[in-house]
């Protein structure tokens, strides 16, 4: 019964008797019902039934074309379609057991949701994100990053050369200070790269947190954790590491002033609403640093504040008034310490009287530069580092550079810092006026370049001894880490188009911060 029913059903429905009988019924009245009339309807349904299979040559022509098509689509299909076909979609099951991991792993990341559900594919998706995270829109990013890495590597070499003798004389290994500096560089490098991919809209929220943390760390200096070194109480002894909190105050002021001035860019001429609050908040870390006796760091902090106010758009007459008030206060504070006033008087006299005391360091620094000549005495062959030049690996490392590498090495370092200043200027010029990116990058650039100029100027006798290290080169883990973190912040803003820096959010909400819109291919 089951075999008969499927045969009868198509025989009843497919003949379409009413459709064939209707034309016959119309033509039947004109023809008499004879035997010939009965034969006429029988050949009419049969030829159409036979013509439909006979017209299959029209189907045979695409049939050979369809046979090679699957082979071409599997090989020559685009990578996106092939990855989707192999991995599957959210509704369809996976077709291939390989899941397209090897083929789609190195392609454009257009996999569907099912392609990133497994643990292996989750790591693959993270690899895609990190691959695109370090893509910059211009040459400023790579130029700033390249100069920073070169200065850090060069500084490690010079720290090893200038600190080996003193480290061995103190009973430690000749590589002790170098390993400490290298460990700080290893920690700072991934932190700098991680900070460089932070969206620009996050920095206004983080600026207040960083400022509060820096002020709290500076307050800890006056507790039992703090200790004095070189006449300055500016260090924390945490047992396993020593930290200088005043370095974090530099980055904190650059971030907070950028956010504060960007929020009030419409009322910069109102000194009660802009200038006074900015100076009051900025004075807190500066006063704490001066309370510890570190005049050099306080001068760098004041330079950061002035740079932020200038690039933020504060009127020049207000800045002039600030300088008129701050200059006498700085001079008065410099005379409060006997050692500090002695160094200033020796500098004013040209170090022609007290050679053995206040002029010892600056005199031997000048002699080291003179001994280097044009090409230097060779890397590692410095004589000044044999306990003749105090702080040879820190504040006076530029003197060792000039002695071992000569005028060529010293001028190369100067050129690198000049190029670094040019890169910061380019980033600032491409930023939106009044935006946080413009103000913060300008403050960071002024901090690093001015600190380098002050350090080199001290060795050349242009400034008195202030105890300011050479950024990215001098020995000092905290200074190196904070400087690289600040450059990471500048790299973060360098990734964002200028129009996106004005309101702390991207101009196009579909574009992730730090990337420009690109046509979808």
Q: Establish if 175 belongs to a structural domain.
A: yes
Question: pLDDT for 163-202, tens place per residue?
Answer: 999 888 888 888 999 999 999 999 999 999 999 988 888 9
DSSP string, 67-88: TTHHHHHHHHS-HHHHHHHHH-
Residue whose tokens read 């006074």? 276
Give buried/exposed letters for 434-455 (b at 16+ CB in 10 A, else e).
Answer: bbbbbbbbbbbbbbbbbbbbbb
Q: What's the average model confidence in pLDDT over 447-452? A: 95
pLDDT higher than 60, residue 400 = yes
Q: Which two tokens stand for residue 380?
A: 């590692």
Q: Establish if 337 belongs to a structural domain.
A: yes
* pLDDT band at 147; cut points 50, 70, 90: very high
What torsion, rounded to 10 degrees, do the Cα atoms 42, 48, 49, 52 define? Answer: 170
Q: Which two tokens stand for residue 175?
A: 């590589």
Q: Is 521 strand, coil or helix?
A: coil
Q: Longest C-alpha distance within the chain, in Å?
A: 147
Q: Which two tokens stand for residue 68?
A: 């090679």
Q: Establish if 164 belongs to a structural domain.
A: yes
Q: 177: closest CA among 167, 190, 165?
A: 167
Question: pLDDT for 88-111, tens place per residue?
Answer: 433 444 444 334 433 333 344 444
Q: What's the average model confidence in pLDDT over 412-421? A: 95
* pLDDT band at 486; cut points 50, 70, 90: very high
Q: 139: closest CA among 129, 147, 150?
A: 147
Q: Establish if 120 belongs to a structural domain.
A: no
Distance (Å, whole) CA 487 – CA 511 = 24
* pLDDT band at 137; cut points 50, 70, 90: low
Q: Is 172 left (phi over 0), alpha (psi -120 to 50) or beta?
A: beta
HEC sequence for 90-140? CCCCCCCCCCCHHHHCCCCCCCCHHHHCCHHHHHHHHHHHHHHHCCCCCHH
Q: Establish if 292 belongs to a structural domain.
A: yes
Question: pLDDT for 325-371, tens place per residue?
Answer: 888 888 888 888 777 888 888 888 777 666 777 788 888 888 999 99
Distance (Å, whole) CA 14 – CA 49 = 10
Give residue 490's pLDDT.
Answer: 93
Distance (Å, whole) CA 82 – CA 299 = 62
Q: Establish if 98 belongs to a structural domain.
A: no
* pLDDT band at 413; cut points 50, 70, 90: very high
Distance (Å, whole) CA 153 – CA 472 = 9
Q: Is 417 left (phi over 0), alpha (psi -120 to 50) or beta?
A: alpha
pLDDT higher than 50, residue 250 = yes
Residues 6+ apart with CB under 8 A from 294: 232, 234, 246, 467
Q: Which two tokens stand for residue 448?
A: 């690093």
Give residue 102's pLDDT.
Answer: 37
pTM flag (> 0.85): no
CB 119 within 8 A of CB 138: no
Give residue 484's pLDDT.
Answer: 95
* pLDDT band at 234; cut points 50, 70, 90: confident
HEC sequence for 417-449? HHHHHHHHHHHHHCCCCCCHHHHHHHHHHHHHH
Sheet holding 226-229, edge to edge: 226-229, 232-237, 242-243
Q: Establish if 345 belongs to a structural domain.
A: yes
Q: Establish if 476 belongs to a structural domain.
A: yes
Give residue 344's pLDDT.
Answer: 83
Q: 321: closest CA among 263, 271, 262, 260?
A: 271
pLDDT higher than 50, residue 73 = no
Q: Is 373 strand, coil or helix?
A: coil
pLDDT higher than 50, residue 84 = no
Residue whose tokens read 């034309």? 23
Question: pLDDT for 286-328, tens place per residue?
Answer: 999 999 888 889 999 999 999 999 999 899 999 999 999 888 8
Q: Which two tokens stand for residue 364?
A: 């031997």
Distance (Å, whole) CA 485 – CA 501 = 19
Distance (Å, whole) CA 145 – CA 45 = 84
Length of the chain: 521
Give residue 294's pLDDT.
Answer: 86
- What total number of domains does the chain contain? 1
Give residue 25's pLDDT.
Answer: 44
| Helix, strand, coil shares, percent, the chain, to 5 | 65, 0, 30
Question: What does the radius of gyration of the chain's CA atoms come to, in whole angstroms?
Answer: 39
Give residue 349's pLDDT.
Answer: 77
Q: What is the mean pLDDT of the chain?
A: 76
pLDDT higher than 90, residue 489 = yes
Q: Which domain holds residue 164?
A: 139-497
């Amino acid at each position: 019964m089951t075999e008969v029913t499927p045969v009868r059903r198509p025989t009843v429905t497919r003949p379409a008797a009413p459709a064939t009988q209707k034309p016959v019924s119309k033509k039947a009245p004109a023809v008499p019902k004879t035997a010939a009339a009965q034969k006429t309807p029988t050949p009419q349904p049969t030829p159409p039934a036979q013509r439909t299979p006979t017209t299959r040559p029209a189907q045979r022509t695409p049939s050979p074309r369809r046979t090679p098509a699957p082979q071409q689509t599997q090989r020559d299909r685009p990578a996106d379609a092939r990855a989707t076909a192999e991995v599957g979609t959210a509704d369809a099951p996976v077709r291939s057991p390989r899941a397209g991991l090897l083929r789609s792993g190195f392609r454009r990341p257009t996999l569907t949701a099912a392609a990133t559900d497994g643990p292996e594919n989750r790591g693959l998706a993270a690899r895609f994100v990190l691959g695109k995270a370090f893509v910059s829109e211009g040459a400023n990013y790579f130029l700033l990053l390249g100069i920073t890495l070169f200065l850090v590597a060069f500084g490690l070499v010079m720290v090893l050369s200038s600190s080996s003798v003193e480290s061995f004389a103190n009973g430690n290994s000749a590589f002790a200070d170098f390993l400490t500096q290298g460990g700080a560089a290893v920690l700072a490098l991934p932190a700098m790269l991680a900070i460089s991919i932070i969206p620009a809209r996050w920095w206004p929220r983080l600026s207040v947190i960083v400022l509060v943390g820096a002020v709290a760390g500076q307050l800890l200096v006056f507790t039992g954790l703090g200790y004095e070194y070189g006449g300055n109480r500016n260090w924390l002894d945490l047992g396993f590491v020593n930290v200088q909190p005043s370095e974090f105050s530099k980055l904190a002021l650059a971030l907070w002033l950028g956010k504060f001035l960007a929020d009030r860019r419409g009322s910069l001429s109102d000194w009660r609403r802009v200038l006074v609050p900015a100076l009051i908040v900025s004075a807190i870390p500066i006063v704490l640093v001066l309370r510890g006796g570190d005049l050099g760091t306080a001068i760098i902090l004041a330079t950061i504040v002035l740079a932020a106010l200038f690039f933020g758009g504060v009127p020049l007459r207000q800045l002039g008034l600030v300088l008129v008030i701050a200059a006498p206060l700085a001079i008065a504070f410099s005379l409060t310490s006997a050692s500090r006033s002695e160094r200033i008087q020796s500098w004013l006299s040209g170090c022609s009287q007290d050679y053995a005391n206040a002029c010892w360091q600056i005199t031997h620094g000048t002699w080291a530069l003179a001994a280097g000549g044009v090409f230097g005495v060779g890397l590692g062959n410095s004589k000044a580092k044999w306990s003749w030049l105090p702080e040879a690996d820190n504040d006076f490392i530029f003197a060792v550079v000039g002695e071992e590498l000569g005028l060529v090495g010293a001028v190369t370092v100067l050129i690198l810092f000049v190029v670094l200043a040019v890169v910061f200027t380019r980033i600032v010029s491409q930023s939106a006026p009044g935006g946080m990116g413009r103000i913060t990058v300008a403050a960071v650039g002024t901090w690093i370049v001015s600190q380098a100029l002050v350090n080199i100027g001290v060795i050349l006798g242009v400034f008195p001894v202030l105890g300011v290290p050479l950024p990215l080169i001098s020995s000092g883990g905290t200074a190196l880490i904070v400087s690289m973190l600040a450059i990471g912040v500048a790299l973060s803003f360098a990734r964002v188009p200028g129009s996106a820096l004005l309101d702390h959010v991207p101009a196009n909400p579909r574009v992730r911060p730090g990337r420009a819109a690109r046509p979808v291919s």
